[in-house]
Amino acid sequence: MRRVATLYRTTVGKKVLMAVSGLILFGFVFTHMLGNLKMLLPPEGGHFAMDVYAEFLREIGYPLVPHQTLLWVARLGLLGAVFIHILSAVQLSQASRAARPQGYAKEESLSLSYASRTMRWGGVILLLFIVYHILHFTTGQAHSSFVAGAVHQNYVAAFQSPLVYLVYLVAQTALCFHLYHGVWSFFQTLGLSHPKYNHLRRPFAVGFALVTFVGFLTPPTLVLAGVIS
Ligand code: HEM
């Protein structure tokens, strides 16, 4: 435990924690995107595929463990990962500012990629989005039409509104840039470098970010177009 605390005090330690917590969050986001594709499937035995899947997620592990135990373990794990990710981001940015009080010269800042410069604001947009998203689909306070447990119905009701669609479009665009730069930095931080494969890092990061973007937005776009109801 003391070794972890000592490692965390170093810049490298913070970067590693940021990369590992980012990987956990990325794993969740990618799985969540795949799960949302259930909206594209036809109903099974009179139940919407999305509702069957959501019920499965809520009850995963039962009867071995009490109802919703693993759901809560996953929620707390995600919350911990979000906390560590934000804390290390803030501390790393403070440390780099302290090491360079006058700021960067113009040419250097231009050489930073667009994605890396938007990491901070993208992160803030994503945090605000997650708060809205939970009020929208989990607790239901954000929309009066919310019905607990009726995920398919809540989903369709949500994306029939162009305004809600726009909010999600903006958030997914921020996520796309965040993932692109995050996946790319992940290799860098953990030193996963090999001259033979380094040229693949950027296309790999672009590919993952785009697959996530298209995967998340396909079902809402079909709802907005009236294809899914
Ligand atoms: C187009 C994009 C998205 C759509 C349509 C969507 C849809 C949904 C729906 C319908 C649920 C509720 C599932 C249920 O009640 O079983 C949910 C839960 C959740 N979503 Fe998303 N989601 C999207 C993107 C995201 C992103 C990008 C994140 C995180 C960065 C995210 C984080 C969460 C979390 C943490 C929950 C679970 C809340 C909980 O039950 O504790 N979602 N999402």
Domain range for residue 55? 2-224
Contacts 24+ apart (CB under 8 A), 90-97: 91/14, 92/11, 92/14, 92/15, 92/18, 93/120, 95/11, 95/14
Evaluate whether residue 127 is within a structural domain. Answer: yes
**Residues 80-112 pLDDT 10s:** 999 999 999 888 888 877 776 565 555 444 445
Q: What would the DSSP string read from start to end of 146-195?
A: --TT-HHHHHHHHHTSHHHHHHHHHHHHHHHHHHHHHHHHHHHHTT---T
d(CA 72, ligand 1 centre) in Å: 15
**Residues 13-26 pLDDT 10s:** 888 999 999 999 99
User: What are the pocket residues of ligand 1 if the criterion is a CB atom closer than 6 Å to any ligand atom?
Assistant: 29, 32, 36, 54, 57, 75, 78, 126, 130, 133-134, 137-138, 151, 155, 168, 172, 175, 216-217, 220
The two structure tokens encoding residue 227: 């294809």
Evaluate whether residue 229 is within a structural domain. Answer: no
- Please say whether the beta carbons of 103 and 168 come within 8 A: no
Ligand 1 mutation pick, 25, 133, 155, 165, max ligand atoms within 8 A of CB = 133
d(CA 42, ligand 1 centre) in Å: 21
pTM: 0.91
* CATH code of the domain containing 23: 1.20.1300
**Residues 135-187 pLDDT 10s:** 999 999 999 899 999 999 999 999 999 999 999 999 999 999 999 999 988 88
Q: How many domains does the chain have?
A: 1
Could you give the CA distance from residue 209 to residue 215 in angstroms, rounded to a whole number? 10
The kind and range of the H/E element at 62 are none
DSSP SS3 for 10: coil
Ligand 1 mutation pick, 38, 53, 137, max ligand atoms within 8 A of CB = 137
Of the candidates 16, 24, 36, the residue with the CA atom closest to the CA atom of residue 211: 36
